[in-house]
Every structure is written in structure tokens, then in C-alpha cells.
Amino acid sequence: MIPLTVIGGFLGAGKTTLVNRLLTEGGRRFGVLVNDFGAINVDQALIAAQDGETLALTNGCVCCMIGDDFGAALLRLAERGPEHVLVEASGVADPWRIAQLALVEPGFSLEPIVVLADATSLADGLADRWVADTLERQLRAAELVVLTKRDIATDAQRAAAATALERHCPTARRIDAAEALQGEMLQFPPPRRQAASRFEASIPPPFRSTLWRQAGPLDMARLRETLAGLPRSVLRIKGVVMTTDGPRLLQYAAQRWAFSDKPDLDPALVIIGTPDMPDMVATLEACTA
């Protein structure tokens, strides 16, 4: 049986950072299922080969695209002989629904479900009428909570996050993301779980998602001004954007953003928000240089 860990958490909580950390420092041959290779941002020096939907790393780890068929992706990954499989859930997914699919697939043992919680935005999210239900489901599924961004949270935010975790996942183990998380910390006897159901695993979350490919470069100053004024209904923006300063990888979550160099990916942005999110295509196109 191959141990399998589902890593969940809301948009921008730090799931990809955790996966990257385990890939480079985990000390074992991980297999990872991801939505896209661009999101995991693996160090190019670690990539040994890329073949379609599979990315092989020099340390023996391998990444596979999830695609439309989770079971087929698991089988494809298992053929590579990983010692431990990590599944990075979408930021708006219920980790338990993904875990149910893993439970009914032969050859895998479901390890404790890991959920990342952003200390800076957890309380605000739980107070948001569109976001609260998803966050609550994620926290209820948690068997190990990794609290992220605690170092930049205010005292009030840290206290509110602790109260929320005690309310929604009181039996889950907790660790701080600043700790030296190793693969061994993902494995311990899980609590008693409810029965698995493939049907329940197929219910979609109530969020809007847009893929935008720009027609021309955006003015960087105007783009920064636009990002600063976005409402809370815009939950996540991720991808490569062409700007007057060149191609940049844009990461936006919880009303914070960062740009970094990433010229080797095709320009495209994935935008996720609540049902009352404004027309982000028009908003971003207004930044055209």
C-alpha cells in the first residue's frame, strides 16, 4: 500500500509552498498530483525530464497532472513507484471529497488529511458569506492543521485563528508552518472516519473561475493600482502576465500580491472569486499599456 496524503487549504494558504518544500527536503521519493506544473514552480535544476503530463525530478520524485480522471492519474503515478503520494487539492475544494476517492482506489492507504490555514485571513474568511462554507468544510476535514503566515499576522489575527481552529477542528493536530516540516510528520494513526462516497466527491464548490489570456502588455503601475483596489470577492489570481516590465509571475491572495520572474511559461491568468466578483477581464484589460 502506498501512503497518500491530501493537502488542502483555501486559496493562497501556502499549499504549493509546502509541496515544494517536501519535494526538495522531504528525504523520500514523493509522487505528487497537481493541477498544473506551472503552479508548483519546481526549481529547473531539479527537473530531470518532462513527458506530457509527467514531470520527473533528479531526486527520484515525480509530479503528474490530475486531469479529468483522478483514478487514472493515481494509477499513472503509482507505476512510477513513489514511496509516498501527495495530492494538492484546489484552494476551493473539500479535502474530504478528494480523500474519499483515494479511499476507494486500490493500492493506497489514506494518511491524515492536511489542511493549511492562513493566520492572516482565516477569521475574515469565516465571516464571509461566500467563503465561510468552504473554509468550514476544509477545517472539518483536517486531521493535521498547518498554520501559515503566523509570523506576519497581528496578535488579533493569531488569536482569532486559534479560536477558529479550536471551534472547527478541535481534534486535529496543529503545527506552525515555520517548523521544519518533514514527510514523517504527515504519517500518524488517523482518527475514525466516515464511509467514502464517490458521488459526494463530485459536488462542485460555489465559486467562479476565469482563465484570461491578454492581448497586449499591461502597464505595471496601473496594474499595481488595480490590484490594490480589488474587493474581497476576488480570492485568487495566479499565472504569468505580460507587463511593460516584461513577463511576471503574479500571485494574488487575501488582498496581497507579489510579482516574480517566470518567463518560461505562457502568459495566462487564472482568476477565482465569489459569485459577486466583478468582471475581472474588463478590469485587467483596462490596465493595457
In this prediction, residue 195 carries a pLDDT of 60
Query: Could you tell me which residues are beta bridge partners of residue 129?
Result: none
Q: What is the widest separation between alpha-carbon atoms in the chain?
A: 56
265: nearest Cα among 28, 5, 38, 17: 38
Most confident of 51-55, 163-167, 183-187: 163-167
- Asked if residue 224 has pLDDT above 90, the reply is yes
CATH of segment(s) 208-285: 3.30.1220.10
Average pLDDT, the chain: 84
Tell me the average pLDDT across 5-30.
Answer: 86
- 99 falls in which pLDDT band (50, 70, 90)? confident
In this prediction, residue 261 carries a pLDDT of 78
The three cell numbers of residue 42 are 519546481
What is the per-residue pLDDT across 50-77, written as a single tens digit (0 to 9) for each?
Answer: 776 777 887 788 888 776 677 778 888 8
In this prediction, residue 221 carries a pLDDT of 93
Rounded Cα gap, residues 185 and 175, in angstroms: 10
Rounded Cα gap, residues 271 and 142, in angstroms: 26
- Asked if residue 108 has pLDDT above 60, the reply is yes
Least confident segment among 11-25, 127-141, 251-265: 251-265
Domain residue spans of the chain: 2-202, 208-285
- Asked if residue 220 has pLDDT above 50, the reply is yes
Vertex 191 angle, CA 123 and 70, to 5°: 80
What is the per-residue pLDDT across 80-94, written as a single tens digit (0 to 9) for each?
Answer: 889 999 998 888 888
Q: Taking the model in full, what pTM does it have?
A: 0.78
CATH of segment(s) 2-202: 3.40.50.300
Tell me the average pLDDT across 88-101.
Answer: 86
Rounded Cα gap, residues 62 and 77, in angstroms: 8
